[in-house]
Amino acid sequence: MREKSPYDLRASARGIYGFFEMMTAPPKILAKFRLNGDEIECAFHPNKTLLEVLREDLGLTGTKHGCEMGHCGACTVLVAGEPVLSCLTLALECEGSEIETVEGLARGGNLHPLQHAFTTCGAAQCGYCTPGFLLSAAALLQVNDQPSNAEIKEALAGNLCRCTGYTKIIEAVALAAERMHESSDA
């Protein structure tokens, strides 16, 4: 019989922990949100973060699970138009709020200008950080359609990327801003 690898042991530990968590979790509650433009009602354990509810209860896995400590920004979503770290936010706190995730950026089958610009500029490599960057940038462009590079850097300061070196991400946000500004003038 094959010896257990550290991965097997870790998987068993996770299973035991998951079972214990399930047995001790408080009863589910029902809450209403406006999620990506739709009114929804969702049942979840009240000790769950917004990140956990989005991914595990609503199946929206576009929001990424990174450090879970508020350091990486991979879990960024918009709550009432403001970027929020969903790993540090209880879902219950957002009851009744407007929540936007990366799944809601494309509208009517058309990518958001930021998504187009990330593609044009090659601003995503592994892509793990991309949803968080897109949401932070979308929040910036909602209030400032002609941001300077310094303003873009400041808006994205809470988002970490291990692959791109940031230059292309900043270029992509500037390009999206330019295109959005031009189309609003047209």
Q: Which positions touch ligand FES (CB under 6 A)? A: 65-68, 70-75, 85, 87, 124-129, 161-164
Nearer to ligand FES, 9 or 126 (CB): 126
**Shorter beta-carbon distance to ligand FES: residue 9 or 88:** 88
- Cβ of residue 72: shortest distance to ligand FES, in angstroms? 3
d(CA 20, CA 14): 10
CA 122 – CA 175 distance, rounded (Å): 12
Residue 49 beta carbon to ligand FES: minimum distance, rounded to whole angstroms: 9
Residue 177 to residue 37: CA distance in whole angstroms? 23
Q: How far is the CB of 88 from ligand FES (least distance, A)?
A: 6
Minimum distance from CB of 30 to ligand FES (Å)? 25
Query: How far is 82 from 55, CA to CA, in rounded Å?
Result: 20
For the chain, the C-alpha Rg in angstroms (whole number) is: 19
